[in-house]
Amino acid sequence: MKLSAKTAFIVFSAMLLLIITMCYLFYEVSQSFYKNQLQESVEQRLTAHQEVIETDFYVETLQHIIVMEEYESESQFVFFGENLESWESTAGVTTEEAAAYKQWIEAQEGGTSAFSRTSHHTIPHIYAYEPLIVNDETVGYLFIDEATPEFEETSQFLFWIMLAMFGGSTVLAGFFAWFMKHYVGKPLHRLKRTTDLVADGDFDVQLNASSRDEIGELSWSIGTMAAQLRAYRDSRRSFLSNVSHDLRTPLTYVKAYSSLISEMPEDAAAHAVVIHHEAVRMERLVEDLFQLTKLDEGHFTFSFEQVEAGSLVSETVETIRSYAHQHEVTMTLNSPDEKLELSADPARLQQALLNVLSNAIHHTDSAVHVSLRHAGDEVEICIEDEGPGLTADEAELVWARFYRTDAARSTKDGGSGLGLAIAKEFIEAHGGHVHSESPAGRGARFHLYLPLLKT
């Protein structure tokens, strides 16, 4: 059973149970109220007769009351003597009925009236009695047997009203359940079709999440997921295009210069340098892909140990200084005198720094400035170049995989778009975080934050 059908069934069942309960309570309360009204009316009439007789206890008074009761078409009145033996009544009371009345009075332990449905009554009757007390002595009992045809008719009328209410409410409950099924089911069917398209590789789907309920939030989440998958797909396509070009270019050089070596042995050394350079580029690209694959699979291991940040940064700068000199870039380092201890994998952390430094060297005009400082519970490493800088969007995307700030530039001078992504992964694996910005003027700043070792 589908979720929308389950929801509709639960709603309909709950509403049906509520309707049945309300109809039953309405019938019972209404019936009980009308019954109580009839009982109170009989009791009040009988109490009035009692007060009149006790005030003026004469045979004429009793006879007058019996005559009055003769006019009550649905009522029988009986006066019993002190021992419930002798009796007088309105016309129509048989000896058997008088005996039944006497037996009922003797059986009463509390209360002076009750509804009775006996074998000789086809409809409920109200029995009520009151003792006659004169000079503190019980001299007899007044008894009324009141038939209730109006009560029976009213009960049937209430029953039919209850059935009508039940039928109408059931129809409304069914309509509401149908509405809920379509209200919940329609957007869910739309979401299912959309997720099927996404599963088939169509990431260009659009979802209009107009509602603000859970389904709207789910639609928004699926739309966001599709957008992220679309961006990932586009970046992969761009990356594959770049990689195919990057691999084709060094391979062309390798083929061409290896051919030249075979034909012109006197220039073999120069051609070999070019071949080696292009082979190094290919090796770097393949190594970047290999590292990212291991990171994604969770197979990359880190060997943490206590490291002094200043020494590690200084050693890394010296390592890349010759590379910077080849590109006519000056390297500067500013570090504090205090020792800043870290828990880090020296090789991986140095690789992250080299990736960021190499990126800065490629994009600077003249110099790269490296600074190290104590920032609260962290060590901040700032690498600043003097290149064209970054836009606000580029500053957010520059750490993404396969991203290049200038897609149109020659891939011969640029990297694969993986260096900063790998650096970010390594820094975060150390419990740190990264940030990039481009201050007013020129240049870009890359901030690497690492937690200080707690002693």
Report, as an integer, the average pLDDT of 411-435: 80
275, two tokens: 């071949």
Rounded distance between C-alpha atoms, residue 89 and residue 87, angstroms: 7
Average pLDDT over residues 381-401: 88
CA–centroid distance for 189 within its chain: 19
| Confidence grade of residue 313 (pLDDT, cut at 50, 70, 90) | very high
Pairing, β 137-147 against β 113-116: unpaired
> Are 214-296 and 301-451 the same fold in CATH?
no
C-alpha gyration radius of the chain: 50
Of 47, 48, 57, 46, the C-alpha closest to 82 is 57
Q: In what order do the strands lie in the sheet with 445-451?
A: 330-334, 367-375, 378-385, 445-451, 433-437
Whether the pLDDT of residue 413 is over 60: the answer is no
Confidence of residue 433 (pLDDT cuts 50, 70, 90): very high
What is the reported pLDDT for 372? 95
Evaluate whether 132 touches 53 at the Cβ level (below 8 Å).
Answer: yes
- Banded model confidence at residue 392, pLDDT cuts 50, 70, 90: confident
For residues 126 and 117, what is the distance between their CA atoms, to the nearest angstrom?
Answer: 9
The pLDDT of residue 68: 85
In the structure, what pLDDT confidence band is assigned to residue 411 with cuts at 50, 70 and 90?
A: very low
pLDDT at position 7 over 90? no
Mean pLDDT of 293-304: 73
Residue 245 has pLDDT above 70, yes or no: no
Q: Is the pLDDT of residue 374 over 90?
A: yes
- Element holding 215 (H helix, E strand): helix 214-263
194 pLDDT more than 90: no
Mutual angle of helices 214-263 and 149-199, in 10-degree steps: 10
pLDDT of residue 395: 86
Examine the pLDDT at 193 and tell me if it is beyond 70: yes
Indicate the pLDDT class of residue 407, thresholds 50, 70 and 90.
very low
Give me the mean pLDDT over the 47-61 stretch: 82
Question: What does the pLDDT read at residue 260?
Answer: 67
Boundaries of every domain in the chain: 3-154, 214-296, 301-451
Mean pLDDT of all residues in the chain?
79
Q: How confident is the model at residue 412 (pLDDT cuts 50, 70, 90)?
A: very low
Distances from the Cα of 70 to the Cα of 64, 66, 76, 114, angstroms? 10, 6, 8, 22
In the chain, % of residues over pLDDT 70:
73
Where is pLDDT greater, at 125 or 427? 427
| CATH T-level topology, domain 301-451 | Heat Shock Protein 90 (3.30.565)
* pLDDT for 240 beyond 70: no
Residue 271 has pLDDT above 70, yes or no: no
Average pLDDT over residues 26-53: 78
Give per-residue burial for 152-178: e unless 16+ CB within 10 Å, then b. Answer: eebbeebeeebeeebeebbeebeeebe
Between 24-28, 140-144, 343-347, 357-361, the lowest mean confidence (pLDDT) is in: 24-28
pLDDT value of residue 416: 61
Quick check: 410 pLDDT over 60?
Answer: no
CATH fit for domain 3-154, picks 3.90.550.10, 3.30.465.10, 3.30.450.20, 3.40.50.2300: 3.30.450.20
pLDDT at 119 over 80: no
Average pLDDT over residues 303-327: 92
The pLDDT of residue 179: 74
Q: What is the pLDDT of residue 242?
A: 67
CATH 3.40.190.10 for domain 214-296: no
User: Which one-letter DSSP state was computed for residue 299?
Assistant: -
Q: What is the pLDDT of residue 307?
A: 93
**Residue 136 neighbours by CB distance under 10 Å:** 5
The pLDDT tens digits for 128-137 are 888 888 888 8
* 324-341 residues labelled b (16+ CB within 10 A) or e (exposed): beeeebebebebeeeebe
Paired strand residues for 128: 113, 144
Asked whether 180 and 8 are in contact (CB, 8 A), the reply is: yes
User: How confident is the model at residue 124, as a pLDDT?
Assistant: 78
Q: Which of 25-39, 90-104, 243-257, 408-422 has the highest mean pLDDT?
A: 90-104
pLDDT tier for residue 224 given thresholds of 50, 70 and 90: confident
